[in-house]
Structure 1
Amino acid sequence: MTAALDAIDRAIVVATQDGLPLVDRPYHEVARQVGISPDEVMNRMDRLLHEGAIRRIGVVPNHYALGYRFNGMTVWDVADEHIAEAGKRVGDLDFVSHCYHRPRHLPDWPYSLFAMIHAKEKAQADSLAERIACVLGDLSRGHLVLFSSRILKKTGLRL
């Protein structure tokens, strides 16, 4: 981040840290709450995003409420020299919600590439994992699918 938050920036962050208001014009509602114009809200949020004070603006769906009961973290054993290529292949799949590299912990945990999938039925989840396996081909030396057993509340830093 290049600059400190001023009082208006802080008010915008506080007004949006639990999500944008669920109304037709959310930036207008934030503007009303903060006491500035909607254009200024959008310009400031764009600047805060660019400076890194806000990491992202996006939807965080409740997959269970949408009927997706088989939410699986697929974990893949991919050689370190192929992790960037493998990550690009998997991350480009439209059914993978997020994909990232994590350190392996040998000898018990050989997996270094993680990719989250969501499905309504177990057979569908298995099919999605198989599609990832096909995309990875020989880059994958093995994998597991770890299904969620409970919902954890996702929240970021609060002011």
Structure 2
Amino acid sequence: MSTSTLKSEQARFTDQDRELILATQEGLPLVSDPWGELGRQLGMPADEVLSRFQHMQETGVIRRVAAVPDHYKLGYRYNGMTVWDVSDDAISTMGQQVGDLPFVSHCYRRPRHLPYWSFNLFAMVHGTSREEVEHKAAQIRELLGDTCSGHTILYSSAILKKTGLRLRKQADKP
């Protein structure tokens, strides 16, 4: 994207867009019509709220609007980052297949750091028990077959609060 295009897109980020982001940083209203509720709160029609979010997503201001469930409250208390040593010529194909598994919440490639760290494919799985996580890892191992020469599971030991970028209200600026 050229500098002039970037400046043009930034110029289209309005005060109303900022207000929408501020109003939703902690989540969308949990009502049957969240766009309408936001519109009522901010004095704009629901269809404008939705179109502004769509525009911000299309221009890359926001990546997505999605539910983020608390997997601990859902009973998934065992979190295993499975790490795999996959042959470089197969990692793109195999990474896509692993990422498509219904029990993998996220999957990505990372560089090796030889000789200390040979793993280059990471896949996060959650379970209600350690055995469930290990069973899911075994399914990944079977899928990877001969393309994989080693793996391990790194279990979470603490709950970390994850948040994205947070804007400050105008009055909060230094």
Q: TM (normalized to structure 2)?
A: 0.87
> Please, which runs of 5 or more residues in structure 1 have no aligned partner?
none
Please show how residues 31-42 of structure 1 align to structure 2 within 5 Å: 31-42=39-50
> Please, which runs of 5 or more residues in structure 2 have no aligned partner?
1-5, 168-174
Paired residue secondary structure (1:89): helix
Which residue identity does 2:64 align to in structure 1? R
Q: Which moved more, 1:22-31 or 1:38-47?
A: 22-31
The answer on 1:82 being equivalent to 2:101 is no
Match of 1:3 among 1, 9, 26: 9
Paired residue secondary structure (2:9): coil
Which residue identity does 2:131 align to in structure 1? A
**C-alpha distance after superposition, 1:104-156 (max 9, x if no partner):** 11111111111110100111111000001111111111111111111100001
Which residue identity does 2:51 align to in structure 1? N
- How many Å separate the matches in 2 of 1:116 and 1:65? 18
**C-alpha distance after superposition, 1:78-101 (max 9, x if no partner):** 122221111111011011011111
The answer on 1:24 being equivalent to 2:44 is no
Which residue identity does 1:90 align to in structure 2? V
Aligned to 2:130: 122
Aligned to 1:50: 58
Match of 1:136 among 132, 144, 149: 144
Which residue identity does 1:14 align to in structure 2? L
The answer on 1:155 being equivalent to 2:163 is yes
- How many Å separate the matches in 2 of 1:49 and 1:138? 40
Aligned to 1:93: 101
Q: Which moved more, 1:145-154 or 1:28-37?
A: 28-37
Paired residue secondary structure (1:43): helix
**C-alpha distance after superposition, 1:12-56 (max 9, x if no partner):** 111112211122221111111221111111111011111110011
- How many Å separate the matches in 2 of 1:10 and 1:51? 14
Aligned to 2:115: 107
Runs of 4+ with >3 A deviation: none
Q: TM (normalized to structure 1)?
A: 0.95
Tell which structure's C-alpha radius of gyration is larger.
Answer: 2
